[in-house]
Structures are given as C-alpha cells and as structure tokens.
Amino acid sequence: MNKGFPSIAPLLLGLALAALLASCATTTSPTGRRQLVGGYSQAQLDQLGAQAFAETKAKKPLSRDGQQNAYVQCVVNALVAELPQQYRGVRWETALFADNEPNAFALPGGKVGVNSGIFSVAKSQDQLAAVIGHEIGHVISRHHEERMTRQMGASSLLQIAGALAGDYGQLVTQGGGIVAQTGFLLPNSRTQESEADIVGQRLMAQAGFNPAQAVDLWQNMMAAGGARSPQWLSTHPDPANRIRELQRDIPALEPVYRQARAAGRTPRCG
C-alpha cells in the first residue's frame, strides 16, 4: 500500500479534474443556464443519435397508418422550420411507432420518434406540437451532450481514483461505476426537463401553435396516468409544478404566437 496516497490523492484528483474541465467548455443554454459541454463532437453525437434511432426502429414495429404518419411529419416540419440555422440544415427523420405507451423522443442528428399512443393524450395538433417541441427542446438545448460530458468526466475520475488507490483500485472503480450509471445515465435530469418545457413551449409559439395547449397536454397526461403516471413522466418534474410553470409563461408567449400567425405560420396538420 502506498502510504503517501492519503496526502497526495486530493491534489492528484484535483489536477485530474482541472484537466478534464479544461478539455470541455462552459456554455449557456437557451434559458441562460450554465452548462458543461464539449466532451463529444457534434459528428459523434449525430452518429450516436443515428445508431440509437436505427436500433429503436429495428426493435419496435412502425405504424403503417399513412394519415397519422403525415400528421406527425407535418408538426415536426413546422417546428423544425423555426429552429436555429444549424438545426434547420439537418435532414430530420421521423418515425411513428405502433406502441400504445404515450411517449416521444428526439435525438441529435435530427431524429424524432413518436409512439402512436401519444394520440390518446395529445388531442390536437397544438398538443402534439407541445410534446414534440419539448423533445426537440432537449436537442437544441444540448442536453444529450451535457449528460454525456458529465458522465465522461465521472468515468475518467473513477479510473484515476482506481489507479491511485493501488490494491483497492478495482473496488473503487467498480463501486463508483454503479453510481455513475445510476446517476448520469438517466434520460434527463429534472432541470433539463423543465428547460425543455420552456424551450419547447416557445418553439411551438414561434411555429404558430397555441402555447396554451401545452397546459392542456400535460393535464391530459396526468389524467391518463391515473394512480400510475406514464413511464414518460418518471424523471420529469412534479406535474403540478410543471403545469404552473407552463401557465406562467403563456402571457409572454401569446404575442409570439400572434406574430407567427400574422406572418402566415398557420400549421394545418390535422
């Protein structure tokens, strides 16, 4: 056992952490929140998104309902048209899955997946836009990159700690690995979910969808969940708080919505 380990370990871990942070970058999210990103290139993120999307399509049956597919694609197109330029230039791909679970997701590289079960709670094109806008909000807020950068840092530090611990290295790395997996590999943090609500609601207003319908959507989601909330809500903020926050932002978004409609952005998806 290295008797000098207890005194030098904090210094070495500190230097390692500083090096990891230096290799990343701090940026500002669309809501002004500070984020640690830069652990992966956009090309890597897009490749991972494409791979995950392809795997999902291979595992889950696709809906053959032409009308519903066109409906979803129409909403996606209207939202994408209002994204920042670097996201509008991506060839977005949409898939509608024959799955009764009300769920949806979006991935880097322009991938959107929607379960047909979402129509049981999204009763209008505006409510469907609230769902899809929220998911696209995760992408344009760089949430995938943020989570993966944090996880990369945790994994690297665990490896360093394992090396410094000598005989105990394997135990440190294995034990910490469980923490890293359960803490950093969750789909999204509640902070990110709240941010995606804000970004998605603004996006839908910019595209000409009624932002007030985001409140109705989440009320429908909770009513459908009954005693057991849908799986999609498992890591989301408290539903009552979420609805209050969406209601809070409606007055500021009403002029954005009216301006979009006046400019001719009047989606007619279904």
Known catalytic residues are 135
Q: Got the DSSP string for 46-114?
A: HHHHHHHHHHHHHHSPBP--HHHHHHHHHHHHHHHTTS-HHHHTS--EEEEE---S--EEEETTTEEEE
Calpha distance 136→104 (Å, rounded): 10
Cα angle 58, 144, 91 (rounded to 5 degrees) comes to 60
Calpha distance 95→51 (Å, rounded): 14
Region at 243 (left for phi over 0; alpha for psi -120 to 50; beta for the rest):
alpha
List all residues 6 or more positions away from 236 whose beta carbon is below 8 Å from its beta carbon.
Answer: 190, 193, 242
